[in-house]
Amino acid sequence: MRRAIASLSFFLLPAVLAVTIPTHRVVTREECKVLPLEITNFTLVEDSTNFYDVGFNFTFSTQEGRAQDGSCYLGAPKASGIFDTRGECNPRGLAFFRYKKSGELSVDFDFLCLGHMGIPQIIPFNGSIPLKCDRTAGGQNCSQDGAVALNAI
């Protein structure tokens, strides 16, 4: 009888252990996966010294609903045609602008987000900003014409 019970418990033990050992699911947190980034207060000033001054604010919110604001500013030589705000954004970002005389600005914006456990992730956005431009003495001032939301790619 003891041998039968011992034999039976030998076969049942793995089944009992398999049922009672909790399984841990891996939960991935994508804190950096953000909703469209909104650009506001965009200004581009072309002065008489062949420089552009560019500034804008941006806002985004994560899927968890946390909102974050930032701003960028740069001065760029007119000859470059592509403006690079490396190191000029707070929080840190990198933006490339291609200004067209037709009154539009294409934007590629990479935002550096600190994700779960502080691991940095780069979130790329792109889109275009329609501009309203007014000529001033020796240059022109351009501002954002309407709301702009850049989509993450």
Write the CATH number of the domain with boundaries 37-152.
Answer: 2.40.350
3-state secondary structure the chain: CHHHHHHHHHHHHHHHHHHHCCCCCCCCCCCCCECCEEEEEEEEEECCCCEEEEEEEEEEEECCCCEEEEEEEEEEEHHHCEEECCCCEECCEEEEEEEECCCEEEEEEEEEEECHHHCEEEEEEEEEEEEEEEEECCEEEEEECCCEEEEEC
Amino acid 5: pLDDT: 54
Enumerate residue ranges in the chain where pLDDT < 50: 8, 13, 16-17, 20-29
pLDDT of residue 27: 40
- All structural domains of the chain with their residue ranges: 37-152
Task: Identify the CA nearest to 143 among candidates 130, 127, 132.
Answer: 132
- pLDDT value for 17: 46
Q: Supply the pTM of this predicted model.
A: 0.61
Per-residue model confidence as pLDDT tens digits over 38-53 = 888 888 888 777 788 8
Q: Which tens digits make up the pLDDT trace of 122-137?
A: 778 888 888 888 887 7
User: What pLDDT score was predicted for residue 103?
Assistant: 64
Residue 87's pLDDT is: 53
Partnered with residue 53 across adjacent β-strands are: 45, 75
